[in-house]
Each structure stands twice: as C-alpha cells, then as structure tokens.
Amino acid sequence: MSTTRGVRARARTEMTEAIKAEARRQLAEEGAAKLSLRAVARELGVASSALYRYFPSRDELLTALIVDAYNAVGASAEAAYEKAVLGDPEGRCPAARWEAVCVAVREWALAHPHEYALIYGSPVPGYSAPESTVPAAARVAGQLVQVARDAYRGPGIAEPRLGDEAGVEARRMAEELAPDLPPAVVFALVTAWAQLFGLIGFEVFGQFHRVVEDRSAFFVQAVRQLAHDVGLVRAKPEPARPRRSPRD
C-alpha cells in the first residue's frame, strides 16, 4: 500500500517536472507573458485539461517556474560561496568570496537567460508574484550579506560613509535586514546588490551589444569596484591616485 502510494507520488512528481521542463523550454521561445498551458500540453502529447490536475491555473505554473529559478540562482551563489570558503588561502579573503558569488550569478544568468528574464526582467503583466516566492528570491542577497558578515567578523572592514538623509534609511534597513552589520555597510550592500543586477541585466538583455566586448573582464573589474564600495577591500599600500588636468 505504501508502495502503491510511492509509485503514484513518483509518477505525479515526474509529470509535474515534465510540465515545468516543457514550460521552461517555451519560456525561451514565447516569453513568460505568452506561457500557455495548451501549448505545453500539445508538446507533451496530452490534453490541455489534464494539466489542471497538476497546476490549478496558468499563474500557478508561472509561480512554480519563478520559485525554481530563484532557487537555482540562489543555489549557484551559495555553492560558489562554499567553494570559495574552502578554497586556497588567498581565495578566502572577503573580496574573493564576493567575486566568486557575483561571477556565479552572472554565469547562471548567461546560461539561463529566459529564466533570468522571468525573475529579474520586466514583471509579467497581469501576474503578481505571491509572498511564497520571497524566501527563494532572498537567497542571492543573503549570500552577499554573508560575505560582508564574514568580513566584519574578520580583521576589519572599511565602513562606507553616508550622507545624513541616507543614514536614516540605512539604520532602518540594517535593523530589518542585518542588525549585526553597521548600517552603512548594509546600505552599501543593497546598492551593490541592485548594481550587480544592472551589470548582469545589461549583458543578458543585449544593451552591451557593440559597447562591451570582453564582458568577463569588464564584469570582474566592475564587481571588484563594488566590493570596494561595500568596504570589503582593505586599503593596500598603493600609489596615490593619478590626477589629470588639462593644465599639466
């Protein structure tokens, strides 16, 4: 009897996964706005009405795809972090962990552009993501916070400076998001988080066409600057900033 239930449960899981896999395939061709249960059913060789046993509506299928995508990119970020933590000694500094997480997110996005568009692109008109997507959506940001937390617990972190109005918002954010970090760091983390997805989004969505050629080098340099802005890079002995003036 438990065997029978197990078999049925497995069949149900397999069908559910097959539906999602075909839907993901169609995301690439038609986009989320046109995701269609009928088209999925046609490709799977079943009646469209059969799919309603697995997903009560088109929007529920969309929600499942969104949660899966957030979890996939979040898992990439977490795996990259773990690998960096366990890696060579020189790879363990906060900046190296930061870079590893950012690169993992970018690589996931480039490998899954349509799922990236689903979660970080334009909202799907007429669809509103339920609150149940929030935990999955928070995983990447959580990993960025973790890197900053490591650094703050380590030998020292350079706190970014803030204007006065921003300071109020920074304290509010810190209280809600990471009370164990200085408000200025939390604030800088949130800006860096948004900016990271600006870099990735422009690449995935084609805005760098004929602008940026060596996109990997570009990205790595940019996220190093972000790490610096967050305060993860300790000042090294370095030459003074060069200054240019037309009156040299």
Name the site residues for DNA (rule: CB under 7 A).
Answer: 8, 11-12, 15, 35-39, 41-42, 45-50, 52-54, 57-59
**The binder of a copy of itself chosen from 14, 17, 30, 82 (CB under 8 A):** 30
| Residue 87 touching a copy of itself (CB under 8 A) | no
Least distance in Å: CB of 151 to a copy of itself? Answer: 10
Question: Binding partner of residue 35 among a copy of itself, DNA, none, CB under 5 to 8 Å per kind?
Answer: DNA
Which of 46, 138 has the CB closer to a copy of itself? Answer: 138
For 187, other C-beta atoms within 10 Å of its C-beta total 23
Rounded distance between C-alpha atoms, residue 22 and residue 43, angstroms: 8
Tokens of 17: 């996964």
Least distance in Å: CB of 41 to a copy of itself? Answer: 20
Terminal Cα-to-Cα distance of the chain (whole angstroms): 87
Least distance in Å: CB of 1 to DNA? Answer: 16
Rounded distance between C-alpha atoms, residue 94 and residue 149, angstroms: 9
| Residue 212 touching a copy of itself (CB under 8 A) | yes
Rounded distance between C-alpha atoms, residue 10 and residue 7, angstroms: 5
Question: Binding partner of residue 58 among DNA, a copy of itself, none, CB under 5 to 8 Å per kind?
Answer: DNA
By CB atoms closer than 10 A (0-12, 13-18, 19+), residue 20 is middle
Please identify, among the stretches 48-56, 69-77, 85-93, 160-168, the one whose residues bind a copy of itself according to the rule CB under 8 A. Answer: 160-168
Question: Binding partner of residue 157 among a copy of itself, DNA, none, CB under 5 to 8 Å per kind?
Answer: a copy of itself
By CB atoms closer than 10 A (0-12, 13-18, 19+), residue 107 is middle
Least distance in Å: CB of 42 to a copy of itself? Answer: 18
Please identify, among the stretches 45-53, 54-62, 72-80, 217-225, the one whose residues bind a copy of itself according to the rule CB under 8 A. Answer: 217-225
- Closest listed residue to residue 109, CA positions, set 81, 135, 84, 72: 72
Rounded distance between C-alpha atoms, residue 83 and residue 65, angstroms: 27
Least distance in Å: CB of 26 to DNA? Answer: 9
